[in-house]
Structure 1
Amino acid sequence: MSAEDLENYETDMELALYREYRDVVGLFAYVVETERRFYLANNVDLQVRSAGGEVFFELTLSDAWVWDVYRSARFVKQVRVVTFKDVNVEELSKADLQMP
């Protein structure tokens, strides 16, 4: 496999992932962004924790979809994320999802 073939394969996978996102985004209520992943979810519980002087975030998502081109099963029942970086949670408005 040449470098060009590999690049074309990765481009095709990213395009397929974007199309899947476009097809499923209307099924979810929240968009969640961490430093490592992007999620869609219907239930979000974000807790700020502290241990040993460090602050971290514990995030529990249920009924979720994971933006990950290398993951074959992107729909997950429950996800638990622990991170020391900021977490962005936005509630989706159904009006925002309408195509022009």
Structure 2
Amino acid sequence: MTQQYIAGELSILLARLQAVAADETAARDVAGLRREAETRPVAALTRVVVRALALDDGLCWNSLARGDEAAFTRQARVGADLREFSVCAGLLADP
């Protein structure tokens, strides 16, 4: 994969995460991660992915606590796609 492809695909996945963010603060946090993904070298993207996955995990737990199954399902799908891409792109180790 080219560096531009990795950064671009990560930005798209983060846009999906931003779209399912439950509140304005989380959406702003994801927007900041998108900017980092689009401007940082590929070597720095692992940090962005780790932060995005942690943010998604928090969103999922909050949705479960509120009993919002639909939001949880959307957030979990984005998180799974983000993790799968990150492993395939070599940004995260496969457990």
TM-score after normalising by structure 1:
0.31
Comparing both structures, which one devotes a greater share of its residues to helix? 2
TM-score after normalising by structure 2:
0.32
Comparing both structures, which one devotes a greater share of its residues to strand? 1
Query: Which structure is higher in RCO with an 8 Å CA cutoff and minimum separation 6?
Result: 2
Instruction: Choose 1 or 2 for highest CA Rg.
Output: 1
